[in-house]
A and B are shown apart, each in its own frame.
Chain A
Amino acid sequence: GAVVSQHPSRVICKSGTSVKIECRSLDFQATTMFWYRQFPKQSLMLMATSNEGSKATYEQGVEKDKFLINHASLTLSTLTVTSAHPEDSSFYICSAPRGDSGANVLTFGAGSRLTVL
């Protein structure tokens, strides 16, 4: 149980275009999801907290107008990278707290590798 599906796993786009990444909790509901970004050889950096039915909470230094987050339902959160540039190339990972745990155990998606040309 507690599976998080992330799509697409890889995406290549041209500079200036927008890319949408989906994160779905397959067998549990997630009122909260977290989006992380990871550059090569570095740790995961929390970008934002996605809240179902309300606005996302962004970490300091993360541009909310560039990284649009929508939590449309209890099982789906999307991250849209708008007007992507090469410096946005990174590994994006979503996660959700397991529904059966009150101790805040996160289930992570497999990640989405974005390459902006």
Chain B
Amino acid sequence: LAKTTQPISMDSYEGQEVNITCSHNNIATNDYITWYQQFPSQGPRFIIQGYKTKVTNEVASLFIPADRKSSTLSLPRVSLSDTAVYYCLVGPTGGGNKLTFGTGTQLKVEL
């Protein structure tokens, strides 16, 4: 399984765009990149997933360069409620494949 490296913490203010980068140098050809959000005392929640280039949904964008050795989660105009831990996971396709969590990034949004 590809190991991921993220910043331990980030601080931002409401209304700003936040970009969290994840490094995954040994990503495999069939690996997807998935981001999850976790609030205290809750299970993680899926945010976005991608394989290459750019993916956008209603809550975030995911930028993946051509070499796929890193990815950047972009949260537009964050609010206080976006304060959470964000995890970048890399793993193969197929529902039976286990995924391991890295340290995650604690995002703190202030007024």
Partner of B96, one of A97, A99, A110: A97
Give B contacts to A, CB under 8 Å: 32, 34, 36, 41-46, 49, 51, 87, 91-104
**Contacts of B103 on A, CB cut-off 8 Å?**
43
Segment at the interface with B among A14-22, A64-72, A76-84, A100-108: A100-108
- Whether A110 contacts B32 by the Cβ 8 Å rule is no
**Contacts of A46 on B, CB cut-off 8 Å?**
98-101
Give A contacts to B, CB under 8 Å: 4, 6, 30-32, 34, 36, 43-46, 49, 91, 93, 95, 97-99, 101-111, 113
- Whether A111 contacts B43 by the Cβ 8 Å rule is yes
- Whether A104 contacts B93 by the Cβ 8 Å rule is yes
Least Cβ distance of A40 to chain B in Å? 9
- Whether B95 contacts A97 by the Cβ 8 Å rule is yes
Contact A113/B41 with A43-B101, A43-B103, A104-B95 known, Cβ cut-off 8 Å: yes
